[in-house]
Structure 1
Amino acid sequence: MAQSYDVIIIGSGPGGYVTAIRAAQLGLKTAIVEREHLGGICLNWGCIPTKALLRSAEILDHANHAKAYGLTLNGTMTADVKDVVARSRGVSARLNGGVAFLMKKNKIDVIWGEAKLTKPGEIVVGAPSKPAVQPQNPVPKGVLGEGTYTAKHIIVATGARPRALPGIEPDGKLIWTYFEAMKPDFMPKSLVVMGSGAIGIEFASFYRSMGVDVTVVELMPNIMPVEDVEISTFARKQLEKRGLKIITEAKVSKVEKGANAITAHVETKDGKVQTITADRLISAVGVQGNIENLGLEALGVKTDRGCIVIDGYGKTNVPGLYAIGDVAGPPMLAHKAEHEGVICIEKIAGVPGVHPMDKAKIPGCTYCNPQVASVGLTEAKAKAEGRDIRVGRYSFAANGKAIALGEDQGMIKTIFDKKTGELIGAHMVGAEVTELIQGFVVAMNLETTEEELMHTIFPHPTLSEMMKESVLDAYGKVLNA
C-alpha cells in the first residue's frame, strides 16, 4: 500500500523546504522529495556559494587598495583558487546540513529519488535519471526511497537549470555554466561571459577581482536589462573602471573550441563580427524551468514557455496539484519561491487573510561590485504606464558614511506617483545596497507615502540616510546636497 500524506512537495530548494516547514507548522503530515541535494540550487550552487566567492573577492579588492586606508600590507596579497572554492563549498555544506536538521526537527519525511506524477494525488519515486551534481553522500538517516506515495495536495518545486543556446551548449570544460564557474580547478587568464543578468555580472565581477581579463557580451542595449537604465548605466561605468570589457547590443554567434581555449565570434547589431579568444566562456543566458519527466503532459497540466501555469495561490489547472518557485515562472528568485510557497500552503490549509503575491513588490539584488538592488517600477516603465511621477536621486559622494568607508561611488533613486505620493519604485547601486533595499520594500508593502518617509528618522552616520535624502530630493527638499 502506498504511503499517504496530506502534502508532498517535489524539490527541496528554498521554496520547497520552506513550504514543507510551514506545512508541518500547520499540522499537515508532510513529505519532501529530493533527487540531488537538500537546499536545492540556491543553497548548493547558486545564491549562497556565489556570495561566499564574492566575499573573498571583496576582501581581495580591499586589500589591494589598503594604501587608500592608510594601511600597508607586508607581502603580496594573492588568491588561492582552491582555498577560495573550498571555503565556498564549506559554506554550502554547512547550510545543507542545516536543512536536514530542519526536516528532522519539523518531523518532515524526506523521500530520496526522482518523482513522477502518475495520476492526481499520486507520485512514483524512482532512482534519479541522471547523476547528481552533488550527491548527498552519505544519504541522510531516516530518508525514504523508491516507491509509490499519495497525498491530497502535491506541490511541484523543481526549480530551474541553465538555459543553453543551440551550438553553444556548455561542455563542462571550455564552455561553463554556473556549476563549473563556481568551482574552477584553476584560475583562467581570460574569460568571455555571455549574458549580463545577475548570474553573468556576478561571475564577471568575481573573476575580474581575481585578476582575470573579462569580456561581457550582452544582447540588449544595457547590462542587467531588468534594472532602471540610469542605475544600469552607472553600474556599467563602475565595472568598466575596474577593467571589465562590456559589449552591448551584440551576441555570441559562434564559438570555436581549441585544445584549451575558445574563440567567440561576437556579432554586433550592425552585422560586424569580431573574434575574442579566451581560456573559457561562461554561458549565462538565463534559466529554464525543470518541467521534464514529471508526468505533467499525461495529466494535462498547462505550461507556458517552459514553466507551469498557476494562479495567485500556486494552483495549476489540475485539482490538487500546485507549483511554486522557478518552475512556476519569473521572477526566478529564491525569496519569491519561499513566499510563494507560504502563500500556497496557507491557502491549502485555510489560513484566513491569505493574499496573492504582488510581484511588483519583489526586490531584486545583484551582488557584483558595485552592488545593485531594486524594487517596483523603473522610471521607463512608470512612464510607459502613463504615470505622472516624481523622481528623487541621491549620490553616495555626498554621504559621510560612504566617504568614510571609501565607497563613495553609487546612487539611490526613488520614484513616486505625483498624485498620491505612493512610492512605486526604488533603485540603488553602490556599497551594501542589497542590505538597504528591504527598507523600501517594507515601505511599499505598508503603502507608505512620501510624507511618512520624510518624517522617518534615519540613524547617522549610515548609508541608509541616503534613502531619505532621495525621497526629499523627489520633492525639492533635499538637505545634504
Structure 2
Amino acid sequence: EFASFYKTLGAEVTVVGILDRVMPVEDEEISGLAAKAFTKQGMKLKLGTQVTELKKGADSVTCTLKGKDGKTEQVTVERVILAMGIVGNVENIGLEAAGIKVEKTHVVAGKYGETGVDGVWAIGDLVGAPWLAHKAMHEGVIVAEKIAGVKGVHPLNTSNVAGCTYCWPQVASVGLTEAKAKESGRKIKVGKFPFIGNGKAIALGEADGLIKTVFDAETGELLGAHMIGAEVTELIQGYVIAKTGELTDQELAHTIFPHPTLSEMMHEAVIAADGAALHI
C-alpha cells in the first residue's frame, strides 16, 4: 500500500521482498497481475531478495541487497520503509501474572474474546490474524454483546473476513486461494472474468483487472473469491455475504445483478466456473 501510495505521488519506488512474489497471502494469479501492474507503473520489484544492511547517510540510506543467487548489490535511496509484521504489545504489563496466556506475542483468547480470566477480554490485532480494523471492530461487538448477556451471539469466523489492499490497482479477497483449496483435498472448479469484458469498467477507463471464484465442485460451496482492479474493495463484500449466508454456486448464478455495473463481473465469474460466462 505504501509503495503504491508513494509511486502515485510521483516518487521513485523500489520494493524489496524476501519471498518470490508480491502479496504472497493472495491468490497466486492475482499476485502475478499485481506485480505486472506495479512494474508497468515504473515500480522496481526485487523479489526473493534479502536486505542485509542499511547504512544511513546525511540525506540518504544505502541498502545492501542479497539475491537468491547469493549476489549482492547496493541501492541508495532517500528513505526506507521497513515492514516487519505485527506483534502484540504484551511485554511487561503483567499479563502472565494475571493468568492471561500469551503465545507468539499475542494474547490467547476464545471464540468470544474470553481470556480465561474473569472480566478480561481481548480483541483485535492483539489476538492475532487477520490484523484488520473491520475484524477488530466486529470482535468488539461480539465481546460487548457477550458481556451484556445477549442471547445467540455468533462467534467470529475468520474465513469470512475479507482482506483489502488499497493499492493501485486495488486487491481484495475472501476465503481460500485456488492453491489452498486444492491442498484441502477437495475437487474444485474455478471461474474467472476480466474487467475488459465489462461495459462499466470500460466506460470508467478501468479495463484492467480480474475477478476469480473458487467453488467446491461437488457441493457448490463458495470456497474463495479473489479480485484485482477498480473498486474491488467495495465489490468483495458481495462474496463475503454469499460465504456468510452459505450460498451455493447455483444460488449465486440465479441472482440478478444490475446493469450496467461492475458487480456484473461477480456474476460472470460465478457462471464462468461452469463455462457459462456470457460476455467474454
Relative to the length of structure 1, the TM-score reads 0.57
Q: 2:42 aligns with which of 233, 243, 250?
A: 243
Aligned to 2:194: 395
Aligned to 2:122: 323
Aligned to 1:254: 53
1:294 deviates by: 2.6
2:30 is paired with a residue of what secondary structure?
helix
Aligned to 2:264: 465
Q: How many residues are treated as equivalent by the alignment? A: 280
Question: In structure 2, how many angstroms separate the alpha carbons of the residues matched to 1:458 and 1:294?
Answer: 52
2:13 is paired with a residue of what secondary structure?
strand
Structure 2 regions of 5+ residues with no counterpart?
Answer: none
1:220 deviates by: 1.2
1:468 is paired with a residue of what secondary structure?
helix
Deviations 1:113-160 (A, max 9, x none): xxxxxxxxxxxxxxxxxxxxxxxxxxxxxxxxxxxxxxxxxxxxxxxx
Q: Are positions 1:405 and 2:239 aligned together?
A: no
Question: In structure 2, how many angstroms separate the alpha carbons of the residues matched to 1:231 and 1:285?
Answer: 23
Q: 2:64 aligns with which of 218, 242, 265?
A: 265
Q: 1:294 aligns with which of 90, 93, 101?
A: 93
Mapping 1:51-450, distance limit 5 Å: 202-450=1-249
CA-atom RMSD in angstroms: 1.0
Kept in 1, the 8 Å contact 2:96–2:102? The answer is no
Deviations 1:417-446 (A, max 9, x none): 011101110000000000000000001111
2:87 is paired with a residue of what secondary structure?
strand
Give the counterpart letter for 2:121 in structure 1: Y
Kept in 1, the 8 Å contact 2:192–2:210? The answer is yes
Deviates more, 1:290-299 or 1:243-252: 290-299
Question: In structure 2, how many angstroms separate the alpha carbons of the residues matched to 1:360 and 1:205?
Answer: 27
Question: In structure 2, how many angstroms separate the alpha carbons of the residues matched to 1:461 and 1:426?
Answer: 21
Deviations 1:96-120 (A, max 9, x none): xxxxxxxxxxxxxxxxxxxxxxxxx
Aligned to 1:13: none
Relative to the length of structure 2, the TM-score reads 0.98
Deviations 1:386-412 (A, max 9, x none): 111010000001111111111000000
Deviations 1:133-192 (A, max 9, x none): xxxxxxxxxxxxxxxxxxxxxxxxxxxxxxxxxxxxxxxxxxxxxxxxxxxxxxxxxxxx
1:347 deviates by: 1.8
Aligned to 1:452: 251
Give the counterpart letter for 2:124 in structure 1: G
Give the counterpart letter for 2:205 in structure 1: G
Kept in 1, the 8 Å contact 2:170–2:229? The answer is yes
1:369 is paired with a residue of what secondary structure?
coil
Question: In structure 2, how many angstroms separate the alpha carbons of the residues matched to 1:387 and 1:223?
Answer: 27
Question: In structure 2, how many angstroms separate the alpha carbons of the residues matched to 1:263 and 1:287?
Answer: 25
Identity fraction in percent: 58
1:291 deviates by: 1.6
Question: In structure 2, how many angstroms separate the alpha carbons of the residues matched to 1:341 and 1:465?
Answer: 34
Deviates more, 1:390-399 or 1:289-298: 289-298
1:292 deviates by: 2.7
Kept in 1, the 8 Å contact 2:257–2:263? The answer is yes
Which structure has the larger Rg? 1
Deviations 1:73-101 (A, max 9, x none): xxxxxxxxxxxxxxxxxxxxxxxxxxxxx
Deviations 1:4-38 (A, max 9, x none): xxxxxxxxxxxxxxxxxxxxxxxxxxxxxxxxxxx
Give the counterpart letter for 1:334 in structure 2: A
Structure 1 regions of 5+ residues with no counterpart?
Answer: 1-201
Question: In structure 2, how many angstroms separate the alpha carbons of the residues matched to 1:349 and 1:416?
Answer: 38
Question: In structure 1, how many angstroms separate the alpha carbons of the residues matched to 2:80 and 2:59?
Answer: 11
Question: In structure 1, how many angstroms separate the alpha carbons of the residues matched to 2:25 and 2:19?
Answer: 10
Give the counterpart letter for 1:253 in structure 2: T
